[in-house]
């Protein structure tokens, strides 16, 4: 046996007819390099700017073609298709990163122009052109979002308790189904609904902060229900049964056993729901309107919010468009930061307050 194998001149019989492990990476580096050089030469010849995104795209395309052909010649068609799909799937992921990177980059670079103290200490009252700030919008956003949370958290939490602890039969099924359907309500329809309610009772043309809060809570309730329902379902049944065995009434079991066990998950869900509605523009534009003045009163007068301010600065640019655009970008940066902080806080809460497992 040893005599026979020694005669065959193959280093490793298992890798015969296959590409080496590092070959795809070499081909990738090579094709990106070729594309970069080609684009650099082209930009020198035509005098245009160096298009790095285009170069990377062409490089990725080149790699896809080359790896397919090379693999087809060495490994056969089945392996070649596999490598082609791997390249395409990886490419899809990189393609999705492109808008994310571009968006974050532009928001941070453009937003930092006006991300100053004046932006957070002044409203837009009597401001034409440069200057001014977003205090009125930030106050409005905080007030309306908090009111929406105050309305929707109790309703959402009690509904999820009903679904998990009490609900059986057609009513529970209907609620589950329509909560799912409700997650799909377009945000602008929620705004139109809130406007219609107040228009019917207080006359047309009315725009109030509380109407904006109601529109937001229509969007928020289903999110809260879904997340807390999932969290309540995670509570082990043994805990409930242990409580019942000790003679604890059902409602006290829910309040003292089930809720404390799942409170971390529920709070995370609430934070994520807030993060979702805090960026909503359309319903607030319809229901709460827009204004340049600071307004603390939910039930009187229009109320500005951060997303609506960004939109407003963008669509109605005055004589000095750059000042309006700068404010819009600074508002967008603030908004993204708020959403990021909320998301981060939600994850931290989930980590810190998670029930201690194990005994």
Task: Indicate the DSSP class of residue 212.
Answer: H
97 binds another protein (CB under 8 A): yes
Considering only residues 81, 121, 293, 322, which one is a binding residue for another protein as defined by CB under 8 A?
81
The answer to whether the beta carbons of residues 124 and 324 sit under 8 Å apart is: no
In the region spanning residues 189 to 248, those forming contacts with another protein, defined by CB under 8 A, are 189-190, 192-193, 195-197, 199-200, 204-205, 218, 221-222, 225
Residue among 277 and 298 whose Cβ is closer to another protein: 277
In the region spanning residues 146 to 185, those forming contacts with another protein, defined by CB under 8 A, are 154-159, 161-163, 165-167, 171-172, 174-175, 177-185
Q: How far is the CB of 190 from another protein (least distance, A)?
A: 7
Dihedral sign computed on CA atoms, order 53, 59, 62, 64? negative
Considering only residues 99, 170, 236, 358, which one is a binding residue for another protein as defined by CB under 8 A?
99
317 binds another protein (CB under 8 A): no
In the region spanning residues 23 to 52, those forming contacts with another protein, defined by CB under 8 A, are none
Q: How many Å apart are CA 29 and CA 31, to the nearest integer?
A: 6
Q: How far is the CB of 92 from another protein (least distance, A)?
A: 3
C-alpha dist (Å) from residue 39 to 56, 159, 214, 282: 10, 59, 54, 42
The interface region with another protein, picked from 24-32, 121-129, 131-139, 329-337 by CB under 8 A, is: 329-337
Question: Helical H runs in the chain?
Answer: 2-7, 23-46, 52-75, 77-111, 117-121, 135-161, 169-183, 187-202, 209-234, 237-245, 250-253, 259-278, 282-287, 306-315, 321-352
282 binds another protein (CB under 8 A): yes
Q: How far is the CB of 155 from another protein (least distance, A)?
A: 5
The answer to whether the beta carbons of residues 348 and 272 sit under 8 Å apart is: no
The answer to whether the beta carbons of residues 265 and 234 sit under 8 Å apart is: yes
78 binds another protein (CB under 8 A): yes
The interface region with another protein, picked from 12-20, 39-47, 234-242, 311-319 by CB under 8 A, is: 311-319
187 binds another protein (CB under 8 A): yes
Q: What is the DSSP string of 108-136?
A: HHHHTTS-SHHHHH---TT--SS---SHH
70 binds another protein (CB under 8 A): no
The answer to whether the beta carbons of residues 273 and 302 sit under 8 Å apart is: no
The interface region with another protein, picked from 20-28, 60-68, 73-81, 113-121 by CB under 8 A, is: 73-81
Considering only residues 139, 258, 286, 303, which one is a binding residue for another protein as defined by CB under 8 A?
286
């Amino acid at each position: 046996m040893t005599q026979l194998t020694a005669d065959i001149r193959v280093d490793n019989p298992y890798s015969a007819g296959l590409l080496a492990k590092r070959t795809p990476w070499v081909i990738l580096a090579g094709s990106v390099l070729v594309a970069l050089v080609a684009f650099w030469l082209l930009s020198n010849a035509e005098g245009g700017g160096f298009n790095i995104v285009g170069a990377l795209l062409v490089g990725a395309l080149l790699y896809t073609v080359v790896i397919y052909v090379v693999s087809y010649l060495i490994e056969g068609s089945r392996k070649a298709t596999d490598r082609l799909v791997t390249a395409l799937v990886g490419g899809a992921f990189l393609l999705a990163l492109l808008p994310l990177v571009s968006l974050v980059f532009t928001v941070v670079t453009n937003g930092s122009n006006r991300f100053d103290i004046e932006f957070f200490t002044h409203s837009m009252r009597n401001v034409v052109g440069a200057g001014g700030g977003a205090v009125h919008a930030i106050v409005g956003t905080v007030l309306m979002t908090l009111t929406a949370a105050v309305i929707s958290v109790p309703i959402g939490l009690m509904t999820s308790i009903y679904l998990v602890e009490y609900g059986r039969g057609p009513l529970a099924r209907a609620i589950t189904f329509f909560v799912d359907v409700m997650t799909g309500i377009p945000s602008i329809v929620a705004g139109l609904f809130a406007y219609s309610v107040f228009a019917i009772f207080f006359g047309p043309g009315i725009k109030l902060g509380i109407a904006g809060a109601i529109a937001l809570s229509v969007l928020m309730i289903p999110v809260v229900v879904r997340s807390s329902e999932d969290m309540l379902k995670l509570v082990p049944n043994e805990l409930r049964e242990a409580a019942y065995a000790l003679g604890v009434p059902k409602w006290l079991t829910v309040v003292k056993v089930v809720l404390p066990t799942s409170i971390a998950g529920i709070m995370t869900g609430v934070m994520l729901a807030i993060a979702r509605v805090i960026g909503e523009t359309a319903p607030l534009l319809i229901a709460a309107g827009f204004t340049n003045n600071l307004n603390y009163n939910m039930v009187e007068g229009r109320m500005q919010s951060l997303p609506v301010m960004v939109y407003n600065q963008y669509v109605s640019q005055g004589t000095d468009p750059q000042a309006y655009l700068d404010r819009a970008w600074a508002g967008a940066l603030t908004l993204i930061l708020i959403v990021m902080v909320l998301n981060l806080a939600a994850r931290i809460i989930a980590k810190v307050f998670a029930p201690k497992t194990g005994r």
